Amino acid sequence: MRRQLANPVVQFLAAGFVVLVVVVVGTVQLSRQAADREAIKDARSTTALLGRSVAQPAVPRGLVDGDAGAVDRFDRTALRRLLVGDVKRIKIWNGAGRIVYSDKTRLIGSHYPLGDDELDVLHKGATDAELSDLAKPENRFERALGGDLLEVYTRIWSPEGDPLLFEVYYSAADIAHRRSEVYDEFQPITLGGLLVLVALTTPLLWALTRRLDRSARDRERLLLAAADASESERRRIARDLHDGVVQDLAGTSFALSATARDPGTDARTAERLAPMSRSLRSSLRSLRSLLVEIYPPDLGVDGLAAALEDLVAPAASAGVAARVEVYDVQEASQDSVRLVWRVAQEAVRNALRHADASRLSVQVGTAGGLLTLDVTDDGRGFAARPDSRPDSRRDSLPDTGGIGLRALRDLVKEAGGRLQVRSAPDSGTTVHLEVPL
């Protein structure tokens, strides 16, 4: 699952899906607002047109005063032309707040105080719109129309010259219908465009990813080949040195020792041969350590302890008391042992070069299915960086020689293990490694 999520194509498709959702939600919201504005604008235009072209010319004298005959005439002549399209209700108010006409005849003659907005339109003209408050008594009959209503009002004039408030009610369902019409127009453009974009770019990205994968694999193969070549070369050099120079030096050392102990050798000669023999043995130890560093003779489980002993051999000449302990590593794999060796090699090298330690301990063991390594010295340690954690102890890699350990940390991580370096000033350093067996 994690591997699939790391795939750039999957990530692109996921991001594309998220963008699609965001765009859909945004488009719906924007189109809803645009449609609402459009619908309200339409309703205002319709109201102004109805008021100016139909209602006002049909208003007879006397309607403003509630004259019954005038109401009848207006009802007969204008109503059919007013209740058109989305119009659900008509009300005409006089300035005193009396409904002088409505298609709902029971409202005619009723009196309700006009609000500020209505009075504003009545006195100043223009057209206004708002959602109907169906809780108001003058709107009680509109509740039966169902759903929300948009009421739009404008000013018209009576033949007597009195201003009248012409109010038209529209169903909010019609607005929703208008909204869906607007949205339907936008939908193919927005969604279709995005889908086409995703459809076009996905194969391109897939091809690009494959190409990158191929390049990465080629590079890895080259690196491995280079590493193998380097290892082979080191192995050859180490073998040549071991089989040639080391054997010759060992033979010479034994010959010198034997000659020095030979009763036939005079005391003066024997005395001169002894330091030569010691110097030769010391050179032999140094050469073996070098060989171990160049290429450990046996990186199997059985040879790990000996290889580590060879690794710490130079400690004695540096005045460092070194100790190697290896326990219960029989089940460890070859790769894990190699990793332990490489980390130990780097850690021991750092300790001998930089720690100024008097004691060095290398411990290898197993715990909970893990192969563990601890390389501990009692040297000067090192301090945390100012931008590091607040406590003086740190769990990072040292500045000196740390590049090698940092590179190893990546190897350890790839092997599913963990590498930690704990240190503090004058408290020594511990390099701790855990890798699966």
Partner 1 sequence: MRIRPAHLAVALLTSSVLISVAGPAQAKGGDDVVRRGSCTGATHWKLKVKPDDGRLEVEAEVDSNRVGQTWGWRLVHNGSTSASGTATTTAPSGSFEVRRRMVNLAGTDTITLRASNARTGERCVGTVRF
Question: Side-chain half-sphere of 419: how many Cα atoms within 13 Å?
Answer: 25
Task: Give the Cα separation of 424 and 430 in Å (integer).
Answer: 10
Of residues 70, 175, 238, 308, which one binds partner 1 by CB under 8 A?
Answer: 70
Of residues 9, 34, 38, 109, which one binds partner 1 by CB under 8 A?
Answer: 109
Of residues 38, 67, 128, 356, which one binds partner 1 by CB under 8 A?
Answer: 67
Q: Which span sits near partner 1 by CB under 8 A: 67-75, 172-180, 235-243, 311-319? A: 67-75
Considering the rule CB under 8 A, would residue 96 count as an interface residue with partner 1? Answer: no
Q: How far is the CB of 166 from partner 1 (least distance, A)?
A: 18
Of residues 73, 235, 242, 418, which one binds partner 1 by CB under 8 A?
Answer: 73
Restricted to residues 322-381, the positions that interact with partner 1 (CB under 8 A) are: none
Task: Give the Cα separation of 16 and 199 in Å (integer).
Answer: 10
Of residues 37, 53, 72, 393, which one binds partner 1 by CB under 8 A?
Answer: 72
- What is the rounded (10 degree) CA torsion for 41, 44, 47, 49? -70
State both tokens at 339. Answer: 């990793």
Considering the rule CB under 8 A, would residue 69 count as an interface residue with partner 1? Answer: yes
Considering the rule CB under 8 A, would residue 58 count as an interface residue with partner 1? Answer: no
Considering the rule CB under 8 A, would residue 219 count as an interface residue with partner 1? Answer: no
DSSP per-residue codes, 29-49: HHHHHHHHHHHHHHHHHHHHH
- Smaller CB separation from partner 1, 158 or 376: 158
SS3 317: helix
SS3 68: helix
Question: Residues with Cβ < 8 Å from 202, sequence gap 6 or more?
Answer: 9, 12, 13, 16
Question: Residues with Cβ < 8 Å from 241, sequence gap 6 or more?
Answer: 287, 291, 294
Considering the rule CB under 8 A, would residue 98 count as an interface residue with partner 1? Answer: no
State both tokens at 171. Answer: 């169903």
SS3 90: strand
Size of the site for partner 1 (CB under 8 A): 15
Of residues 76, 214, 219, 323, which one binds partner 1 by CB under 8 A?
Answer: 76
Q: Which span sits near partner 1 by CB under 8 A: 69-77, 88-96, 151-159, 163-171? A: 69-77
The closest of 388, 386, 367 to 432, measured between CA atoms, is: 367
- Smaller CB separation from partner 1, 110 or 259: 110
Considering the rule CB under 8 A, would residue 281 count as an interface residue with partner 1? Answer: no
Query: Which residues contact partner 1 (rule: CB under 8 A)?
Result: 62, 67-73, 75-76, 104-106, 108-109
